[in-house]
Amino acid sequence: MAKELSKTYDPKGIEDRIYKNWLDKKYFHAEVDETKKAFSIVMPPPNITGQLHMGHALDNTMQDIIIGLRGCRDTIHSGSPEPIMLP
């Protein structure tokens, strides 16, 4: 027999366990490397309705890509002999 799902989401059933796991694995811990130049991306707030849409997903995906690439190196080699400097 299939288990009936609740009509509403109860975060206490899962999120406390997941959050504790994140704390145990130190996912929120960061160490500053003074030898590297600081880098940040400012994320704008959602629109006035507070509803997220595909534009937010695209924007956040692009930020993740840029941050990931910046974390690996300061330049992108696009197949050309000249590297592209990230802003």
Q: Give me the number of domains the chain comprises.
A: 1
Q: What is the pTM of this model?
A: 0.40
The reply to whether 21 falls in a domain is: no
Model pLDDT for residues 42-87, shown as the tens digit of each residue: 766 666 776 667 777 787 788 778 777 766 555 444 444 444 454 5
CA distance 69 to 41: 13
Token couple for 60: 């956040």
The reply to whether 43 falls in a domain is: yes
Q: Which residues of 13-36 are buried (b: 16+ CB within 10 A; e: fewer)?
A: eeeeeeeeeeeeeeeeeeeeeeee
Contact 81, 71 (CB under 8 A): no
The domain of 55 spans 33-87
The reply to whether 27 falls in a domain is: no
The reply to whether 42 falls in a domain is: yes
Model pLDDT for residues 21-47, shown as the tens digit of each residue: 999 999 888 888 888 877 777 766 666
